[in-house]
Amino acid sequence: MVAVIRIEEPFKRPSGPQRPGWKAFLSMAFRPFYLLAAIQGAVAILFWAFGFGGTSALPAYLWHGHEMIWGYAGAVIVGFLLTAAATWTGQAPLRGLPLAALVALWLGARVMLLATPDSNLWGGMLSVLFFVAAAICLAVPVVRSRNRRNYGVPPLLLAFGAGNLAFHLAAAGIIDLDPRHMLHVGLLIVATVIFFMGLRVIAFFTSRALNIPQVTNAPSIGVIAIGAPLLMALTVAVGGPVILTAALGLIGGFANLRQLVRWWHPQVLQRPLLWVLFAGYLCAALGVGLYGVAALAAPALTSAALHSIAVGGIGLLTLGMMSRTALGHTGRPLELPSPMPIAYGCLLAATVLRLAAALAIPYAPLVLIASALCFAAGFGLFVFRFGPWLIRPRADGRS
């Protein structure tokens, strides 16, 4: 089976010190987007936890949700997909000035949302344009190479951008939608992307790391595991029947938990690069199922469901995926460097603490701050370890 990301290239010791440079930094999409996403995720979560009030156009909760979903997660998703496209299609990766322009759109959206506090439309326009441009950059090599297996990926990215557009129009009062519900839609779409990524790589990575036969995924299960949460996001967006939201959540959660059980091997616990992916996927699947339960019978569980996806699903899985793909694509062996096991532990702690705060335990505000500190520490450690590598040429001397 073809892997999404080629990571098994032999490692060669560098012949000399590698100097940082723009050419290396802009040689593949994962480099700028992983680094900037990690910095933005750590800073934004600390701003939120310590009382940043957002802007008049996007008050605290809306700004926080937007920046973590379409800011942080959006950057990681785009960086991952554009990097993977080179392996899927055999085409040259997006790099140089075109990649710099895409990064500028993402950065411009972050800056404009703060620089124009009375209107979210200018920053929102740049944010939506970022996803449209990224989908086009992804579609070109996929269509050019007739890579039919991945024809559905650019539309998935466009759906994520459409959710972003609806959020900004709702926040500006242009359309009659609750922008808070559009944050839910955005998170559910990110969960769908997590399931898509996980179905592609987790069984493959497990097989290679443990030297065991790869567990195959039945096409029908893949359709359900990805389709159910995506349809649930659409149902929430249009205000569809609660019973349909609940059914889709339970079906999607169960289908993905079933796949996780099929991929599981006891030796996974001995490999941090594997267990972090399993843990993130588990949190996303539980969050989707819990959201279905909350919609039907227990609204008080909505926050726990959303943060199971946001902190556990997005945080853990993206940190693990960023670590693994960055190691492979910077020409280093697939051995998790210190202090990344501590970073993974920080994200686990952040998840547990945030779920506890969502369930309104005593001292919930202090627990929430502790969760944010753990989250920021995890991504701060990623920046500390991987930042110098992401701005330098490959350690093995390859292009």
Q: What are phi and psi of 15, to 5 degrees?
A: -80, -15
Q: What's the whole-number mean pLDDT along residues 47-62?
A: 93
pLDDT tens, position by position, 362-390: 788 899 999 999 999 999 999 999 999 99
The pLDDT mean for the chain works out to 92
What pLDDT, on a 0 to 100 scale, did the predictor assign at position 13?
53
d(CA 168, CA 38): 24
Ordered by start, the domain boundaries in the chain are 21-177, 187-389
* Domain range 187-389, CATH class: mainly alpha
pLDDT tens, position by position, 141-196: 999 999 888 999 999 999 999 999 999 999 999 999 999 999 999 999 999 999 99
d(CA 128, CA 70): 9
* Token pair recorded at residue 388: 């110098």
pTM for the model stands at 0.92
pLDDT tens, position by position, 198-209: 998 999 999 999
